[in-house]
C-alpha cells in the first residue's frame, strides 16, 4: 500500500515538473517572438528567390499600416501617382506626392514617395532641390542611423558625384534594412553599373520577391542584366511574363524591341518603339532605338554592326542587273523594291513600286507597297508626283471648306465632352450647340467635322430615360498616303498619343485575334466612373474607333473582343 502511494507521489511530481517545463518553454517562445529579430518569408514569385526564403525585417519602417489610415480619396491619389511614377511620368507624380506631403507633413509614406520621385527626375529646379534636401533631412531625422537613412544618404551622395561612397552606403542600407525594396533596387543598379552582374541579379530577384512581384523595376533591372550578360533566352522569358503584368512598361518594351531586332524582325521592332513613344514621347531610349533600327548587335555577338542598307546590299547587286535586263518582269521589279524597302532606301523602293503601278494598276498589293514607302518618314518629292500632290491638297482644302468647322479644342477631342454622365439632353446642348448635331435615331445625336486630313464623327448616346451614357468616335484618314510625323500606322499612333495626353497613361492590349479575320489592337483607360477603349482593326490602317462609357452601364466580365460590337455600332 505504501509502495503504491510512493509511486503516485512520484508520478504527480513528474507531471508537475513537465507542466513547469512546458510553461517555461511557452514563455521562452513568446519572449523570443517579442525580442528576437523579426523575419519575413517571401512568397513564390516568378523570377524571384526560392519561396520561403527568409529576410530579417531589420529597421525597415512598415508604411502600409500608415497608408491605411489616410482617407480613401488620398489613398487613390497616391496609387494614381504611383502608376505615373512607374510609367516614367515623374514630374506629374511628384506634383501629387508633394500635394499629399503638404496636407500630411508627418506622414512617412507621402514623404518617402516624394523623395524617391525627386531622385529619379533628370534635372531639378532650385525649388525642387531645396525640397529634396528638406525631405531627406526630415526622414533621416525621423529614422537616424537606419538602413532607410543610409539608403537616402547613398542616393544623395551619388547625385553629388561621389559614386564610390554611394556604393558602400547602398551596401550598408541593404544589410541594415533587408526588407526595404528600394534599397535592393538601388543596390542592384549600382552593382550593374560596376559590372558585378551576378550580384546585381540576386539583388533584383530579392526586390521582386520582397515586393511579391508588385514592383516592375525589379523585372526591368533583371531583364536588362540578362540582356547584358548575353542570356537572351532568360531575358525573353522574363519579358514574356513581365509584360503580361505590366504591359506598358517602357523599359521592358524597349528590350522586347531589341530582341526582335536581333532576330532580324525590324518592322516589328519599329512598331514596338513607336508604341513606346506614343505613351512616352520624351523617352530618349526609344527615340534612339527607333533611329538606329537594324544597326544593333546582340551582346557578345562581336563584329561590326551592319546597317539595314548593308544587309540588303547583296540582294540589290543581284536584282538590279536582272531588272535592267528584264524590265517587263514585274515580280523581279517587286523583289528589288522590297529589297530597297528592307534597306530603308524608300525613294528607290517607291520608284520601283510606282513603275509597277503604272504598267499594271491591278498588281496585287501594289498600293500597300507604295504606302509602306510613304508612312515611314516624310516623303521627298519624286519626279512626276507634283501634280498628284497638288490635287490632293486641293481636295483636302475642298473637304475642309465644305465640312462643318470644328468647335473642339484639344481637351474635348475624341469625344471628351465636358458633361457629366447622366446629364439630360437640355444640359448637354446647353454646353454644345445643337446645330452641330443631327439626330441619328431616338436618343442618339451625331456630329461630324473635318480637320485635314482627318474626318471626325462623334455619336452621343442617351439612354431610355434620356440620360447621357456614352460617346462613339470614328476618325478616318482621308489622305492618300497617311504620312504624318513618320509614324505607322499613323492614325492609331497619333490619336493614341493625343488621348494619353487627355486621359493619362492607358493600358495597351496588343494585337488580339477575335476570330473571323478580326484582329484588334487597342488601348484602354479605366477609372471609377469612366471606361474608354481606343482601337484599330489590323488591316484597316486609315481608321480608328473609340468608345467612352459610363462604367456603370457596362455588363460585368467583358473581354476585349466583346467591345467590337460597341466599337462598330455607329
Q: Got the DSSP string for 410-473?
A: GGGGGG--SS-TT--HHHHHHHS-GGG-EEEETTEEEEEEEETTEEEEEEEEE-TTS-EEEEEE
Q: Which residues of 543-553 are buried (b: 16+ CB within 10 A; e: fewer)?
A: bbbbbbbbeee
407 & 527 share domain: yes
438 & 546 share domain: yes
Domain for residue 265, yes or no? Answer: no
Q: How far is CA 32 from the centre of its chain?
A: 46
How far is CA 69 from each of CA 72, 73, 82, rounded to the nearest angstrom? 9, 11, 18
Q: How far is CA 292 from the centre of its chain?
A: 21
pLDDT of residue 377: 40
pLDDT of residue 35: 41
Domain for residue 412, yes or no? Answer: yes
Q: How far is CA 37 from the centre of its chain?
A: 39
pLDDT of residue 17: 67
Its pTM stands at 0.55
Q: How many helices (H) and strands (E) does the chain have?
A: 23, 10
> How far is the C-alpha of 232 from the C-alpha of 258, rounded, in Å?
10
358 & 407 share domain: no
Q: What are the average pLDDT values for consecutive 10-residue runs of the chain, which has 570 residues?
A: 60 64 54 50 83 73 76 83 82 87 84 89 86 90 88 90 90 87 92 90 90 89 91 88 87 93 86 86 87 80 52 72 85 85 78 87 80 50 42 49 61 86 90 88 90 87 90 83 44 81 76 81 85 87 90 82 88
217: cell is 523595376
Contacts for 47 with CB less than 8 Å, ≥ 6 apart = 205, 208, 219, 222, 238, 241, 242
Contacts for 208 with CB less than 8 Å, ≥ 6 apart = 45, 47, 48, 49, 215, 218, 219, 222
Number of domains present in the structure of the chain: 2
Q: What is the DSSP letter of 255?
A: H
Domain for residue 390, yes or no? Answer: no
pLDDT of residue 474: 94
35: cell is 525580442
Question: Helix 90-103 and helix 126-142: axis angle, to 10°?
Answer: 50
532 & 443 share domain: yes
Domain for residue 431, yes or no? Answer: yes
411 & 540 share domain: yes
**DSSP three-state, residue 505:** coil
CA atoms within 13 A on the CB side of 540: 14
pLDDT of residue 459: 95
414 & 556 share domain: yes
520 & 479 share domain: yes
405 & 370 share domain: no
Last-in-domain residue among 376, 410, 435: 376
Q: What is the DSSP letter of 35?
A: H
457 & 544 share domain: yes
**DSSP three-state, residue 322:** helix
352 & 444 share domain: no
Nearest to 559 by CA among 509, 525, 518, 516: 509
Last-in-domain residue among 376, 408, 433: 376
pLDDT of residue 457: 93
352 & 482 share domain: no
Cβ neighbour number for residue 451 with a 10 Å cutoff: 15
Domain for residue 61, yes or no? Answer: no
328 & 476 share domain: no
How far is CA 139 from each of CA 94, 109, 126, 204, rounded to the nearest angstrom? 17, 10, 20, 25
> How far is the C-alpha of 468 from the C-alpha of 180, rounded, in Å?
48
Q: Look up the CATH number of the domain holding residue 314.
A: 1.25.40.10
Q: Which residues of 286-317 are buried (b: 16+ CB within 10 A; e: fewer)?
A: beebbeebbbbeebeeeeeeeebeebbeebbe
User: Residue 327 is part of which domain span?
Assistant: 308-376
Positive or negative torsion for Cα 411, 416, 421, 425: positive
Last-in-domain residue among 376, 411, 427: 376
Amino acid at each position: 500500500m505504501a509502495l503504491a502511494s510512493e509511486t503516485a507521489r512520484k508520478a504527480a511530481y513528474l507531471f508537475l515538473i513537465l507542466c513547469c517545463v512546458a510553461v517555461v518553454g511557452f514563455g521562452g517562445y513568446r519572449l523570443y517572438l517579442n525580442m528576437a529579430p523579426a523575419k519575413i518569408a517571401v512568397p513564390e514569385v516568378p523570377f524571384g528567390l526560392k519561396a520561403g526564403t527568409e529576410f530579417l525585417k531589420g529597421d525597415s519602417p512598415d508604411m502600409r499600416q500608415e497608408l491605411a489610415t489616410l482617407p480613401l480619396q488620398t489613398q487613390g491619389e497616391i496609387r494614381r501617382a504611383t502608376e505615373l511614377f512607374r510609367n516614367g511620368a515623374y514630374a506629374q507624380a511628384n506634383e501629387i506626392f508633394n500635394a499629399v506631403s503638404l496636407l500630411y507633413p508627418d506622414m512617412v509614406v507621402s514623404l518617402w514617395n516624394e523623395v524617391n520621385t525627386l531622385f529619379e527626375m533628370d534635372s531639378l529646379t532650385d525649388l525642387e532641390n531645396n525640397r529634396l534636401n528638406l525631405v531627406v533631412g526630415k526622414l533621416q531625422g525621423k529614422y537616424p542611423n537606419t538602413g532607410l537613412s543610409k539608403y537616402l544618404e547613398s542616393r544623395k551622395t551619388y547625385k553629388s558625384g561621389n559614386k564610390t561612397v554611394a556604393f558602400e552606403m547602398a551596401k550598408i542600407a541593404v544589410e541594415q534594412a533587408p526588407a526595404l525594396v528600394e534599397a535592393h533596387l538601388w543596390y542592384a543598379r549600382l552593382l550593374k553599373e560596376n559590372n558585378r552582374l551576378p550580384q546585381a541579379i540576386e539583388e533584383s530577384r530579392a526586390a521582386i520577391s520582397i515586393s511579391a512581384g508588385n514592383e516592375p523595376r525589379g523585372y526591368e533591372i533583371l531583364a536588362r542584366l540578362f540582356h547584358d550578360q548575353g542570356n537572351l533566352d532568360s531575358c525573353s522569358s522574363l519579358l514574356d511574363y513581365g509584360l503580361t503584368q505590366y504591359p506598358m512598361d517602357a523599359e521592358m518594351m524597349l528590350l522586347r524591341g531589341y530582341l526582335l531586332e536581333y532576330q532580324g524582325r525590324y518592322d516589328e521592332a519599329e512598331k514596338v518603339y513607336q508604341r513606346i513613344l506614343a505613351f512616352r514621347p520624351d523617352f530618349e531610349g526609344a527615340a534612339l532605338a527607333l533611329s538606329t533600327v537594324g544597326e544593333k548587335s546582340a551582346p557578345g555577338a562581336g563584329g561590326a554592326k551592319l546597317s539595314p542598307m548593308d544587309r540588303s546590299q547583296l540582294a540589290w547587286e543581284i536584282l538590279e542587273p536582272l531588272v535592267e535586263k528584264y524590265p517587263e518582269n514585274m515580280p523581279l521589279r517587286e523583289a528589288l523594291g522590297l529589297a530597297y524597302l528592307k534597306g530603308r532606301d524608300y525613294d528607290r523602293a517607291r520608284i520601283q513600286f510606282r513603275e509597277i503601278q503604272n504598267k499594271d494598276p491591278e498588281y496585287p498589293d501594289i498600293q500597300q507597297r507604295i504606302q509602306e514607302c510613304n508612312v515611314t518618314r516624310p516623303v521627298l518629292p519624286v519626279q512626276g508626283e507634283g501634280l498628284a500632290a497638288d490635287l490632293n491638297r486641293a481636295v483636302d482644302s475642298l473637304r475642309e471648306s465644305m465640312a462643318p468647322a470644328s468647335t473642339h479644342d484639344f481637351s474635348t477631342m475624341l469625344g471628351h465632352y465636358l458633361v457629366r454622365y447622366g446629364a439630360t439632353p437640355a444640359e448637354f446642348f446647353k454646353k454644345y450647340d445643337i446645330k452641330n448635331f443631327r439626330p441619328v435615331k431616338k436618343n442618339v445625336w451625331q456630329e461630324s467635322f473635318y480637320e485635314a486630313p482627318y474626318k471626325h464623327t462623334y455619336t452621343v448616346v442617351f439612354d431610355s430615360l434620356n440620360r447621357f451614357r456614352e460617346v462613339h468616335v470614328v476618325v478616318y484618314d482621308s489622305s492618300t498616303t497617311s504620312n504624318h510625323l513618320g509614324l505607322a500606322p499613323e492614325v492609331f499612333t497619333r490619336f493614341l498619343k493625343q488621348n494619353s495626353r487627355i486621359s493619362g497613361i492607358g493600358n495597351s492590349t496588343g494585337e488580339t485575334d477575335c476570330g473571323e479575320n478580326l484582329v484588334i489592337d487597342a488601348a484602354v483607360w479605366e477609372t471609377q466612373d469612366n471606361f474608354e477603349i481606343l482601337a484599330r482593326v489590323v488591316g484597316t490602317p486609315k481608321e480608328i474607333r473609340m468608345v467612352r462609357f459610363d462604367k456603370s452601364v457596362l455588363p460585368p466580365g467583358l473581354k476585349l473582343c466583346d467591345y467590337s460590337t460597341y466599337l462598330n455600332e455607329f
